[in-house]
Structure 1
């Protein structure tokens, strides 16, 4: 029995929703006469709505769990539960049982002012984004379904991800779903009863894709993939017990809307960066070093523009508030005050004292660069085994906008958090990218039982032989000495050939030109023997026997020292020969003979 057929179902005696309305009205009138009170009447629409859901619920229970039928009493024996606790109950399939349910709902809704969660949402007395458990009643269009909380229903418009799940049968009629972050897409002024009546009057969805002609006043919810996940078969319909729906990283969709919560472990916390929004709408992201340089350059330009003008003291006194405020913010007015005599200086100071603070604040904001600090954090999913997406560890990068010192101190590598209220900004290199919002919260949690931690503490490598067994994509921190540094022919990529502390291990670090400009001075390119420390470099492959690392401007850090001299230079000169062999490995190389030769021997004399 479908939910639409339940609304017009008639028992063998001919008892249906119309007769039920008459019987319920008679029961209400009798109770009012016996108690000498006046009870509100019920409409035929109200009875038909609840009749529909009562009949559909009982039919679904009988169809799923019935093991015996007593035709004389009209009852079905249901059996359910688990192997350890079997539950067996009798459910009557009679007119009196449905009427009793109607009387119960009338008592709850009319006398006790109970309202279901969908009724509150449709009447705009409850936020539509709250957590709910709903049941899919029917499909009403290519990307639309009717959902119910057991009391009332509404049309739900699906996004692309949910629409594909509907086509594949992952989202099926009769299944329960936990919903969070829904949006009320249409007017709910007519109320849930009228909306349900309009739904019943519409035709069923046609297989050829024809959409159901719903009324313009039917309230509709917009559902997003990141706010919908399957609920247990025994979950209670209505308001969810938990206000949030933790989602596995594997289940997050790039275009699926907001994510209520994810449970993750911090793998890496990258350096703080700064994103500037320019006047033409473009954005540029800089690291701390570049941001300081850009700030100094901007201040020098602004100061030069206002100080280039030769303004007299009389002109300052008669100047408009806005222009004078700009001179105060840039410091250009200080030069005019210093060059004025006693009387004129006092007039200028009096004029500055009368300048409204609001104007000065507006001028300061107008001249201020629109720079937003951010920090990127690499995380791994810690959903328990058996949960959605818990079988395979998935990583993602969370961009925290405007992080404060408390957050930076709390979010430490290796800790686990439940991060609440995120947006999915897209994917990059097959990795999800999340962004925080104003209401994002980080709640520290323990590592859930049964979850395999993939966190690896940072180790500053000074022996590169351990990279022989590392897999591609592994992030490493290392220190060493630059042996060679040059640009790759035909592109902006720079290659740094670095030697470890043992003198026999080498790596090739490939960095884009932007990284080079942020980390190096040009003189380092021509000087071998420069100590270098690199953090957050990713293993990309091998060049001969030498591991190849790639760096990113957003994640990697470089730290270089002064050029080596004396003995270190001789060590580097010998290292170049060893590096050539490592880059172009040959079979059956006699390393002992090589190091004993003039190319491999290091002269210890100064």
Structure 2
């Protein structure tokens, strides 16, 4: 764009420049400011294990949209970090502090009673007066309220792990009201019975199970909880859960960087849109999924969810809006971006010549296309003439056959000819073809003409087939791809970040719609890195 001090600028151009000078800044920031922004966006308080027992619900995506969905005793405020001595002083057992998602399946409850009866379940402790997953599984399958055939293999182990991890997180984050009374064998059995009644007996499947069984889409808005975050210099591994089942997640470069910075931690809830299930083709239960199965989503289509947001599908599956300043250059696609159009640049055409990328204006592209079309037509004509010449010579050789002496035909012999092919052969072999043609009747002349027409049609079909075959072997001259560049600005009321939006192959209707000053929502936009503007 030219300098703003040019004296011959129109009033419209001066207005655009004034607008850009006040609301449009570069999307690219220096490294320190970039990481500061990431920390501010990702460092809100989070719960250590914020699972939920709801199959679906309406999560609150930001801290200012709604109040917590339910007034619980002592839980209206955000959970805060409590020191270990204070947690222990409020009655939380020391073993609860060491419970993680990976170790929750091995957790055992102390039980001084000979039997534990909860909601029709009779749990018999082991010889060391403890209760683990084996004792809970035996109690569930032996209960008269449970049909063992409905319980899949490893279902109890999976539910036991998720429940222990969730209840331990409640005790650590809310020790004042949950300390010592939440992670108990009685509570676990009650919630296990609830899960059996809801999922297996009531056939209400949670989100991740519906996705892996190919009965629902992973692209809709989901609220998931980070169960495991494992970082190493080479890679970052994530495990996400909907509170019922868990799958591995495939983080992009931006999410890996945030995890190494400590901004992505276990227990954090994320709202994601446009996720994709990769690594396995066939539909199956999450308990039967292979190790390659994982959920892939982009950081730009991912946001922090409230600590008390319900896990699973969001009640509104449409993409949630993002602001331009929150887009990470290596964060992948953006579910939805609300921006204002500050400038629409002239249409350009993208092409490659001798391995180099070339951008042309519309006038230059019209000149190039006209020259290319003329050269293409000349090349096609030469190719068609070559095919006709080759097939014509081959056809003449076939018709000639072995040389035979010319002969004469009497009127009687000509009168016996009953097909066009016989008449054609007779004329070709005659010493005087004109005399033979003069002896033909009107009907024979029609047969001869029809035979000639069929020969011409067959010859033309052979020429066209050979022409198409040779044309397919010729290098394809692909037309240049039109693209439209648009400068957009943020709409969040703060000093905006500017970005160049590239739209490939825009239609005339879309070009007419994208006018300067219009506010638009862009869906499925992909961030292509950052470039410094001089």
- Structure 1 residue aligned with 2:155: 46
Which runs of 5 or more residues in structure 1 are unaligned? 33-37, 75-91, 196-215, 321-343, 386-390, 431-539, 541-606
- Structure 1 residue aligned with 2:286: 192
Indicate how the Cα distance of structure 1 residues 21 and 39 shifts in structure 2: closer, same or farther if over 3 A, else same: closer
What value does the CA root-mean-square deviation take over the aligned residues? Answer: 3.8
SS class of match (2:359):
strand
Q: Deviations over 1:233-265 (max 9, x none)?
A: 222111233332433323323333222221111
Query: Where does 1:34-183 land on structure 2 (aligned, <5 Å)?
Result: 40-42=149-151, 45-68=154-177, 74=181, 92-142=182-232, 143-183=236-276
Deviation, structure 1 residue 108: 2.1
Indicate how the Cα distance of structure 1 residues 314 and 235 shifts in structure 2: closer, same or farther if over 3 A, else same: closer
Deviation, structure 1 residue 292: 1.2
Q: Deviations over 1:29-66 (max 9, x none)?
A: x136xxxxx55253562112112212222232333234
- What TM-score comes out, normalization by structure 2 length? 0.58
Indicate how the Cα distance of structure 1 residues 350 and 158 shifts in structure 2: closer, same or farther if over 3 A, else same: closer
Take 2:243 and 2:514, find their aligned partners in 1: how far apart are those partners?
43
Deviation, structure 1 residue 224: 3.0
Contact in 2 for aligned 1:316/1:348 (Cα 8 Å): no
Take 1:149 and 1:218, find their aligned partners in 2: how far apart are those partners?
19
SS class of match (1:233):
coil
SS class of match (1:374):
strand
Take 2:461 and 2:468, find their aligned partners in 1: how far apart are those partners?
11
Structure with the higher fraction of residues in strand conformation: 1
> Which of 405, 421, 427 does residue 524 from structure 2 map onto?
421
Take 1:358 and 1:232, find their aligned partners in 2: how far apart are those partners?
67
Take 1:315 and 1:218, find their aligned partners in 2: how far apart are those partners?
59
Moved more, 17-26 or 287-296: 17-26
Take 2:470 and 2:207, find their aligned partners in 1: how far apart are those partners?
46
1:31 aligns with 2:145: yes
| Aligned residue pair count | 355
Q: Deviations over 1:551-603 (max 9, x none)?
A: xxxxxxxxxxxxxxxxxxxxxxxxxxxxxxxxxxxxxxxxxxxxxxxxxxxxx
Contact in 2 for aligned 1:257/1:423 (Cα 8 Å): yes
> Which of 70, 83, 100 does residue 2 from structure 1 map onto?
100
> Which of 332, 335, 341 does residue 257 from structure 1 map onto?
332
Contact in 1 for aligned 2:383/2:467 (Cα 8 Å): no
- Structure 2 residue aligned with 1:233: 307
Larger Rg computed on CA atoms: 2
Take 1:44 and 1:164, find their aligned partners in 2: how far apart are those partners?
37
Deviation, structure 1 residue 362: 10
Indicate how the Cα distance of structure 1 residues 402 and 355 shifts in structure 2: closer, same or farther if over 3 A, else same: farther
Take 1:347 and 1:285, find their aligned partners in 2: how far apart are those partners?
50
Contact in 2 for aligned 1:7/1:17 (Cα 8 Å): yes
SS class of match (2:145):
helix
Deviation, structure 1 residue 102: 1.1
SS class of match (2:194):
helix
Deviation, structure 1 residue 375: 0.9
> Which of 273, 293, 300 does residue 374 from structure 2 map onto?
300
Take 2:213 and 2:303, find their aligned partners in 1: how far apart are those partners?
25
> Which of 285, 289, 295 does residue 363 from structure 2 map onto?
289
Contact in 1 for aligned 2:170/2:178 (Cα 8 Å): no
Q: Deviations over 1:343-382 (max 9, x none)?
A: x999999976997699779969976542211111111122
Query: Where does 1:511-522 land on structure 2 (aligned, <5 Å)?
Result: none
Deviation, structure 1 residue 289: 0.8
Deviation, structure 1 residue 98: 1.8
1:12 aligns with 2:87: no
Structure with the higher fraction of residues in helix conformation: 2
Contact in 1 for aligned 2:387/2:467 (Cα 8 Å): no
Take 2:387 and 2:176, find their aligned partners in 1: how far apart are those partners?
100
Deviation, structure 1 residue 422: 1.8
Which runs of 5 or more residues in structure 2 are unaligned? 1-98, 112-129, 395-451
Indicate how the Cα distance of structure 1 residues 319 and 407 shifts in structure 2: closer, same or farther if over 3 A, else same: farther
Moved more, 283-292 or 153-162: 153-162
Q: Deviations over 1:182-218 (max 9, x none)?
A: 34343486742256xxxxxxxxxxxxxxxxxxxx735
Take 1:56 and 1:185, find their aligned partners in 2: how far apart are those partners?
27
Take 1:53 and 1:112, find their aligned partners in 2: how far apart are those partners?
20
Contact in 2 for aligned 1:188/1:217 (Cα 8 Å): no
Contact in 2 for aligned 1:274/1:372 (Cα 8 Å): yes
> Which of 255, 263, 266 does residue 341 from structure 2 map onto?
266
Q: Name the structure, 1 or 2, with higher relative contact order (CA <8 Å, separation 6+).
A: 2
Indicate how the Cα distance of structure 1 residues 299 and 370 shifts in structure 2: closer, same or farther if over 3 A, else same: closer
> Which of 321, 327, 330 does residue 246 from structure 1 map onto?
321
Deviation, structure 1 residue 272: 1.0
Take 2:281 and 2:226, find their aligned partners in 1: how far apart are those partners?
20
SS class of match (2:306):
coil
Q: Deviations over 1:263-290 (max 9, x none)?
A: 1111111111122345x55432211110
